Amino acid sequence: MKRKSPTEPPADSQKTLESWRLLFESETYKNDLDALPGNGDPVFGFEVEWDDLTKYEQLHVKFSENMTETLQCGNQVLKEQYSNRNMATRPVIRVVNLPDDRAYEMSQLRMRDRTRLLSFDGIVMSTSPIIGWLKLSVHKCNDCDSKWTIKERLARPREKIKFCRTCLDAIISNMESKKPKSYHKDPTDVSMVAEENYYEDVQYLEIISPDMLENGMAENGESFQVVVFDEYVGQFSKGDNLTINAVVAVDPLINRDFIRDTRRMIYLQAHSVEEGFSHHKPIQLDLSKEFSLS
């Protein structure tokens, strides 16, 4: 039997969608949206205060427990708000001004902090060239013309598609029938629809904290890698003082000497970036001084 796809989101997602709608229809955010922020830009980071999440069905709790799904719901509602104002811009929610209990010293990060959304004061030491990555790949069956989308992972092997689920379900259903066919078409005849793939801009920043600069860790070549996306790409340069609100993630070692190396390094996936430090005094970096970053 063919798998059934729900026509409506789950009840919990519906509550999350409604909470976001109430937030964006509040006086503060309605006025912000009526000013048409980012109109004409391909992508715009729409800032939402952390404290405001606490006022709408505990959005801050949902955001903490399931950040990806909660943001997906919020971006869907925000896109509707932009469409209602006849703006073609793709808006992206950026939650800013995280509470003090999420402030963290970068050099104290450990593997146990993986997946946490934390706030860091950081100084940009270098920036990578701007590149893109395949975020969503589109595939189709060359037999039944079914199409589906796969969410890819940053800096990971692309997902391998082995068969068409629709065709395979039809084969299984037929084999379970009273008079099954003696021949079935190959369900593995699938291909990627390259022109419909979705790519996202990405850039890597080498970051140190003020404490790392003061205690000499930076001069010893220690730093952290921060990945920024969308509207943040190309916006930062060496010496910038930033507050980086990011998810702690792990990656294989760059210089690993065998494929299945189990060792991992910590890096940060930026969710939002604010100008200036939140918990330190500004630091003027001597741009003529070279640091050896690994």
Q: What is the mean pLDDT of residues 126-154?
A: 93
pLDDT band at 164 (very low <50, low <70, confident <90, very high): very high
Cα–Cα distance, 158 to 152 (Å, whole number): 6
- The pLDDT of residue 44 is 96
Asked whether the predicted pLDDT for residue 183 surpasses 90, the reply is no
- Domains of the chain are 11-96 (3.30.1640.10), 100-131+201-275 (2.40.50.140), 133-198 (2.20.28.10)
The predicted-structure confidence for 9-31, as pLDDT tens digits, reads as follows: 777 888 999 999 999 999 999 99
The predicted-structure confidence for 63-85, as pLDDT tens digits, reads as follows: 999 999 999 999 999 999 999 99
Cα–Cα distance, 68 to 78 (Å, whole number): 15
- The pLDDT of residue 289 is 63
φ and ψ of 107, to 5 deg: -70, -10
The predicted-structure confidence for 226-266, as pLDDT tens digits, reads as follows: 999 999 999 999 999 999 999 999 988 777 666 678 888 99
Q: What is the mean pLDDT of residues 41-58?
A: 92
- The pLDDT of residue 101 is 94
Asked whether the predicted pLDDT for residue 145 surpasses 90, the reply is no
- Reading the block at residue 241, the tokens are 């003082």
pLDDT band at 1 (very low <50, low <70, confident <90, very high): very low
- The pLDDT of residue 46 is 97
Above pLDDT 90, what percent of the chain? 66
> Going by C-beta distance under 8 Å and a sequence separation of 6 or more, which residues neighbour residue 191?
139, 140, 142
Q: What is the mean pLDDT of the chain?
A: 89
The predicted-structure confidence for 108-124, as pLDDT tens digits, reads as follows: 999 999 999 999 999 99
CA atoms within 13 A on the CB side of 42: 6
Question: Residue 33 belongs to what H/E stretch?
Answer: helix 27-34
The gap from C-alpha 180 to its chain's centroid, in whole angstroms, comes to 46
Asked whether the predicted pLDDT for residue 60 surpasses 50, the reply is yes
